[in-house]
Amino acid sequence: MTCTRLSPNRTSPRNHAIDTVTIHCTAGQGTARQILNMSHFTGYDPDNGASCNYAVGKDGSIGLCVDEGDRSWCSSDRENDHRAITIEVSSEAVSPYKVTEKALAALIDLLTDICGRNGIKSLVWSNSKADRVNHRGGCNMTCHRDFAAKACPGDYLYAMEGDIAAAVNKRLEEGEEVTQEQFNAMMEVYLTQQREKETSSWSKEAWEKAASSGVFDGTAPQAPLSREQASLVLDRLGLLPEGES
Ligand SMILES: [Zn+2]
């Protein structure tokens, strides 16, 4: 996150779990900070005020405008914004409202992060508005133009939504984070193997002798032996020749 300026134009808390993303375009280039500072975001106006959850700047900066736990006033559809994370992406001021490569890369980073944290397994796009607004076939990407007579997110981003979803999904698959449960299961396997090693019969007798005779200190049978420690062991056993000094 590059910057935060929370908008008063929000509904707190949202009334639906986050299961959708809605990408918008700003129709005017700016950094995340500049987008957050726009007067229709900063000035409270229950009728015409607006906001978004995140803003992505032309330089790849990312700003927080409305906490994820709250509903932004962004997509001209209350129901959509209660379940969606809305993202304003800095774009050119004229159609097709092109965005910079930096903004696109930051958008993909941000979406990957949002999906990972909110349990959205993958982004599903459809070119059909009916699929999108009815969440058919797991569709979880909507557009401002689905709810109002607007060009948003612009033809440039609109045409890329499927590619954006694919890029995010690839990242989600590659970087799948290990859950606590998976980690515990892995640790259990590891610890079981360790315990087996410690009680293996082939070394038990020798280990007990080594420990009780003071060659080792009797702890950590599976600990690695450094050259320094090996020298000490060999010396204790009287196996080291005298050096020629
Ligand atoms: Zn929009």
Whether cis (ω within 30° of 0) applies to the bond prior to 96 is yes
Q: Which range (9-23, 38-52, 144-158, 162-176) has the least confidence?
A: 162-176
Residue 131 Cα to ligand 1 midpoint, Å, equals: 19
| Cα dihedral 126, 131, 136, 140 sign | positive
Tokens of 40: 């229709």
Residue 94 Cα to ligand 1 midpoint, Å, equals: 14
Question: Does residue 120 surpass a pLDDT of 90?
Answer: yes
Q: Quote the DSSP letter at residue 149.
A: S
- Our measurement of the distance from residue 124's CA atom to the centroid of its chain's CA atoms, rounded to an integer in Å, reads 17
Residue 153 Cα to ligand 1 midpoint, Å, equals: 6
Using alpha carbons, list the distances in angstroms from residue 133 to 4, 75, 152, 220: 30, 12, 15, 61
Residue 75 Cα to ligand 1 midpoint, Å, equals: 6
Start-to-end C-alpha separation, the chain: 64
Residue 23 Cα to ligand 1 midpoint, Å, equals: 7
For residues 237 and 213, what is the distance between their CA atoms, to the nearest angstrom?
Answer: 10
Question: Does residue 196 surpass a pLDDT of 60?
Answer: no
- Our measurement of the distance from residue 97's CA atom to the centroid of its chain's CA atoms, rounded to an integer in Å, reads 27
Residue 154 Cα to ligand 1 midpoint, Å, equals: 9
Residue 24 Cα to ligand 1 midpoint, Å, equals: 4
Contacts of 240 (CB under 8 A, 6+ apart): 231, 234
| Cα dihedral 176, 123, 121, 5 sign | positive
Question: Does residue 199 surpass a pLDDT of 80?
Answer: no
Per-residue pLDDT, averaged over 39-52, amounts to 96
What structural domains and CATH numbers belong to the chain?
A: 3-174 (3.40.80.10), 180-236 (no CATH)
Residue 81 Cα to ligand 1 midpoint, Å, equals: 11
Interior angle at CA 180, CA 21 and CA 122, nearest 5: 25
Residue 175 Cα to ligand 1 midpoint, Å, equals: 30
Residue 137 Cα to ligand 1 midpoint, Å, equals: 24
In whole numbers, what is the pLDDT of the chain averaged over residues?
91
Per-residue pLDDT, averaged over 160-185, amounts to 85
Tokens of 38: 């726009």
For residues 32 and 112, what is the distance between their CA atoms, to the nearest angstrom?
Answer: 18
Q: Which of 45, 44, 52, 43 is nearest to 74 (CA)?
A: 52
Q: Label the pairing between strands 62-64 and 54-56.
A: antiparallel
Percent of the chain with pLDDT over 70: 93
Output the pLDDT for position 178: 66
Per-residue pLDDT, averaged over 9-21, amounts to 98
Per-residue pLDDT, averaged over 175-186, amounts to 72
Residue 171 Cα to ligand 1 midpoint, Å, equals: 26
Residue 132 Cα to ligand 1 midpoint, Å, equals: 15
Residue 159 Cα to ligand 1 midpoint, Å, equals: 15
Residue 117 Cα to ligand 1 midpoint, Å, equals: 24
Q: Label the pairing between strands 10-11 and 71-72.
A: antiparallel
Residue 207 Cα to ligand 1 midpoint, Å, equals: 71
For residues 232 and 157, what is the distance between their CA atoms, to the nearest angstrom?
Answer: 68
